């Protein structure tokens, strides 16, 4: 038997993975959730038809969303993760002893339950005593918090469906307010290559820049995301992502990582010219 999962990267581009079995399938109040077992990528989490993670390459996304801000902030103690119900970002954050509390705000409890059962590789640290999970809308949650967090990770789905609110002006403004005076927000920032993703990236960049004094974009190679070229936004009240980066301090923590390293940290902010140009278009707008 052959069983193939296919994701449409655009209407004209398909990425297909041979799967061994469908381990889980459910329709929650918010989205369709599927988990597959595959030879090439291990287990795969799919939301509304889009790959959220595979066991083979999820380390890249989760290390890059977590370690970049954590290596810049001199003393990150209180962290907010919005989305990220798979637990991968939380897993990376729990590697830091300095962290006192992680609030995970995930809209969909069904995702967390499914990941706890079928994706222990990412969900393994959700029981860390510092982690507090609330099943709530991220936009609503951020409305009522002020001057509370050192780092906020916006680990959202794409800006279509349940993730849409996490790309709005209001949301970024709320995050700004919820951060302490030297806080840092990092968000998954879509991709520069296919037109629809690039437009989402431009909108996000424009809205974040309007609110944060420091706003930069960095990149990673994530093979199972469309085009493999994925971006993150680094938005900050005080610290610059490379000038205020302290590689020696981070290396002294001896945090295990397979993609992120301190040479790559600054290099990730050196964007290709065509990506710079797309971002500059909205900076000048």
Near a copy of itself by CB under 8 A: residue from 12, 29, 75, 144: 12
Binding a copy of itself (rule: CB under 8 A), the pick from 49, 120, 213, 223 is 223
Residue 57 neighbours by CB distance under 10 Å: 19
> CB-hemisphere CA count at 13 Å for 271?
21
Work out whether 221 is an interface residue with a copy of itself (CB under 8 A).
yes
Question: Which CB, 142 or 188, lies closer to a copy of itself?
Answer: 188
Judge whether 40 is annotated as a binding position. no
Interface with a copy of itself, residue 197, by CB under 8 A? no
Q: Which residue reads 């390459």 in tokens? A: 57
Q: Please identify which of the residues 48, 155, 182, 244 carries the catalytic annotation.
A: 155
**279 binds a copy of itself per the rule CB under 8 A:** no
Q: Which is nearer to a copy of itself, 24 or 218 (CB)?
A: 218
Reported as half-sphere exposure (CB side, CA atoms, 13 A), residue 115 has a value of 27
CB atoms < 10 A from the CB of 95, how many? Answer: 17
Per the annotation, the verdict on 150 as an active-site residue is: no
State how far Cα 284 lies from the chain centre: 26
Question: Which class for 94: exposed (0-12), middle (13-18), buried (19 or more C-beta within 10 A)?
Answer: buried
Query: Is residue 196 involved in binding a copy of itself (CB under 8 A)?
Result: no
Q: Which stretch binds a copy of itself (CB under 8 A): 45-53, 100-108, 144-152, 216-224?
A: 216-224
Q: Which of residues 82-121 bind a copy of itself (CB under 8 A)?
A: none
Task: Count residues near a copy of itself (CB under 8 A).
Answer: 41
149-155 and 131-135: which strand pairing?
unpaired
Annotated ligand binding at 137? The verdict is yes
Residue 120: C-alpha distances to residues 45, 115, 123, 151 (Å) = 12, 7, 5, 25
16 to 55, contacts with a copy of itself by CB under 8 A? Answer: 16-18, 38-40
Q: Which of 97, 273, 284, 285 binds a copy of itself (CB under 8 A)?
A: 273
163: β partners = none
Nearer to a copy of itself, 14 or 21 (CB): 14
Q: Is 57 annotated as a binding residue?
A: no
Q: Which of 119, 124, 55 is nearest to 95 (CA)?
A: 124
Closest CB to a copy of itself among residues 26, 270: 270
Residue 241 CB, shortest distance to a copy of itself, in Å, is: 13
Q: Is 15 in the site for a copy of itself (CB under 8 A)?
A: yes
Residues engaged in binding a copy of itself (CB under 8 A): 4, 10-18, 38-40, 57, 60, 193-194, 219, 221, 223, 227-229, 257-261, 263-264, 266-274, 276-277
Active site residues: 155
């Amino acid at each position: 038997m052959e069983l193939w999962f296919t994701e449409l990267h655009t209407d004209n581009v398909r990425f297909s993975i041979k799967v061994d079995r469908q381990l889980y399938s459910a329709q929650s109040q918010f989205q369709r959730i599927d988990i597959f077992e595959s030879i090439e990528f291990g287990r795969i989490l799919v939301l509304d038809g889009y790959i959220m993670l595979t066991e083979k390459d999820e380390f890249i996304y989760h290390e890059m969303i977590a370690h970049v801000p954590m290596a810049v902030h001199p003393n990150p103690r209180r962290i907010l993760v919005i989305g990220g119900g798979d637990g991968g970002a939380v897993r990376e954050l729990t590697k830091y002893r300095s962290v006192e509390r992680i609030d995970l705000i995930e809209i969909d409890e069904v995702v967390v339950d499914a990941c706890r059962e079928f994706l222990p590789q990412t969900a393994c640290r959700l029981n860390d005593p510092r982690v507090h999970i609330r099943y709530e809308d991220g936009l609503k949650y951020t409305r009522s918090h002020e001057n509370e967090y050192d780092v906020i990770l916006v680990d959202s789905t794409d800006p279509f469906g349940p993730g849409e609110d996490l790309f709005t002006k209001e949301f970024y403004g709320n995050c700004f307010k919820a951060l302490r005076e030297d806080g840092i927000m990092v968000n998954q920032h879509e991709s520069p290559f296919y037109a629809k993703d690039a437009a989402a990236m431009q909108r996000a960049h424009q809205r974040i820049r309007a609110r944060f004094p420091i706003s930069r974009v960095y990149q990673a190679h994530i093979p199972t995301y469309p085009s493999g070229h994925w971006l993150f936004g680094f938005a900050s009240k005080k610290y610059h992502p490379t000038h205020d980066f302290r590689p020696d301090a981070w290396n002294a923590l001896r945090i295990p990582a397979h993609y992120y390293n301190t040479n790559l940290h600054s290099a990730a902010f050196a964007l290709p010219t065509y990506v710079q140009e797309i971002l500059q278009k909205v900076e000048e707008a």
